[in-house]
Amino acid sequence: MRGIKGGGGAAVSFVVRVWWEAGAGEWRGQVEHIQSGRRAVFAGWDALPGVLRRLLGEENRPAGDPAGAGELAAEDEPKKA
């Protein structure tokens, strides 16, 4: 991911939505990886970096190699092109 400044790699994009969950007393959010359409939810700011790393790891995972149980809270199927 050095590509943004140095031109040596591909950039990736995310949409991050956040909201205050009053009942839980914490910030919650959803991250969407634009290139794949995969989505994940998180609770608390500390969880966000791990969610981003897992979504990025999905790009490099061989086909047919499922994510570990509980590794990624997927909300829905990837976008259809």
**Does the pLDDT at position 68 exceed 60?**
no
Could you tell me if 27 and 46 are in contact, meaning their C-beta atoms sit under 8 angstroms apart?
Answer: no
Q: Taking a C-beta distance cutoff of 8 angstroms, is the pair 74, 58 a contact? A: no
**Top-confidence residue, 75 or 72:** 75
Residue 27's domain comprises 13-60
β-strand partners of 28: 19, 43
19 within a domain of the structure (yes/no): yes
Strands (E), the chain: 14-21, 26-33, 39-43
DSSP character for 19? Answer: E
In a domain, 42, yes or no: yes
Residue 23 inside a domain? The answer is: yes
The number of C-alpha atoms within 13 Å of 9 and in the hemisphere containing its C-beta is 7
Residue 65 located in a structural domain: no
- Domain assignment present for residue 41? The answer is yes
Q: Is residue 25 part of a domain?
A: yes
Residue 34, domain member (yes or no): yes
Q: Which one is predicted more confidently, 79 or 28?
A: 28
User: Does a structural domain hold residue 77?
Assistant: no
- State the pTM of this model: 0.60
State the total domains in the chain.
1
- Model confidence pLDDT, tens digit, residues 13-65: 999 999 999 999 999 999 999 999 999 999 999 999 999 999 988 655 555 54
